[in-house]
């Protein structure tokens, strides 16, 4: 079984997930990326290997419960533990520039968004937690968003006050609640659980108008994945700064 640190990143074949894998790999961490399309996952691994990153890809669809057990089996048999879990996979089905459409948000959009952004992340974490407990100091990073902050959404003076995408925002608020609750359950262990706001990043979801490059966007996840023993848990962080829940 490997003594090196092992990280599993959902949605790791592109965007923030891929850059997070690259940055963790540069720190000497073995990265396993989950990709719905294994072919694309393997293409991403080839890119990472050219950068000197020790990487592997597994087929993983956050919406398919059977895949959670397959990933558990893969990690258990190959490494016997999991040091870092980054719940990076996420979707948005709303027009962020379309104004507040809360009263018209369909049940279908709510269910689809929550299945990936909340229920999937929770179930995967619960499945892999026994392996994380076998690591010397596990780290769980939930990719949230500043749009999950209820405090900022309720504040007319906040920068996100008029950015209301009900399904997406609420799924991230729920994920933040999971962070707080799981961190409390694990507070007497070496495991730390935190929410990361990467920033508004130039990705497929963020769009070209986003002000932040992808390298900077991955830094918060990488920092939370590699926290020292005296680092925070149950925190909501962007580039080292704490956000209000």
pLDDT (0 to 100) of residue 51: 94
pLDDT (0 to 100) of residue 96: 83
Residue of 144, 190, 199 whose CA lies nearest to 171: 144
pLDDT (0 to 100) of residue 209: 61
Instruction: Yes or no: say if 175 and 117 are a contact pair by the CB < 8 Å rule.
Output: yes
Terminal-to-terminal C-alpha distance of the chain:
39
pLDDT (0 to 100) of residue 211: 58
Structure tokens at 141: 């990073």
d(CA 220, CA 13): 18
- DSSP H or E run through 113: helix 107-114
Contacts of residue 124, Cβ cutoff 8 Å, sequence gap at least 6? 10, 62, 68, 71, 85, 87
Instruction: Please give the domain boundaries of the chain with CATH numbers for all domains.
Output: 6-242 (3.40.50.720)
pLDDT along the chain (245 residues), means of 10: 84 93 97 96 96 97 95 98 97 90 97 98 98 98 97 96 96 98 98 93 57 84 98 97 97
Residue of 176, 130, 127 whose CA lies nearest to 153: 176
pTM of this structure? 0.95
pLDDT (0 to 100) of residue 218: 94
């Amino acid at each position: 079984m490997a003594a090196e640190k092992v990280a599993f990143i959902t949605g790791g074949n592109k965007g923030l997930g891929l850059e997070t894998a690259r940055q963790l790999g540069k720190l000497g961490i073995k990265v396993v990326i989950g990709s719905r399309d294994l072919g694309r996952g393997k293409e991403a691994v080839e890119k990472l290997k050219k950068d000197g990153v020790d990487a592997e890809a597994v087929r993983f669809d956050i919406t398919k419960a059977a895949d959670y057990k397959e990933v558990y089996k893969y990690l258990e048999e190959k490494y016997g533990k999991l040091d870092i879990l980054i719940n990076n996979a996420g979707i948005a089905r709303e027009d962020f520039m379309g104004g507040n459409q809360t009263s018209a948000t369909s049940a279908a959009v709510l269910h689809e968004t929550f299945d990936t952004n909340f229920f999937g992340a929770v179930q995967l974490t619960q499945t892999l937690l026994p392996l994380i407990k076998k690591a010397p100091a596990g780290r769980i990073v939930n990719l949230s968003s500043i749009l999950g902050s209820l405090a900022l959404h309720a504040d007319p003076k906040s920068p996100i006050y008029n950015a209301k995408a009900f399904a997406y925002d609420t799924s991230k608020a729920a994920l933040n609640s999971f962070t707080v609750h799981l961190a409390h359950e694990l507070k007497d262990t070496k495991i730390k659980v935190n929410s990361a706001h990467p920033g508004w990043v130039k990705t497929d979801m963020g769009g070209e108008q986003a002000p932040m490059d992808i390298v900077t966007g991955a830094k918060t996840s990488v920092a939370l994945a590699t926290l020292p023993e005296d680092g925070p848990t149950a925190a909501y962080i962007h580039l080292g700064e704490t956000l209000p829940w």
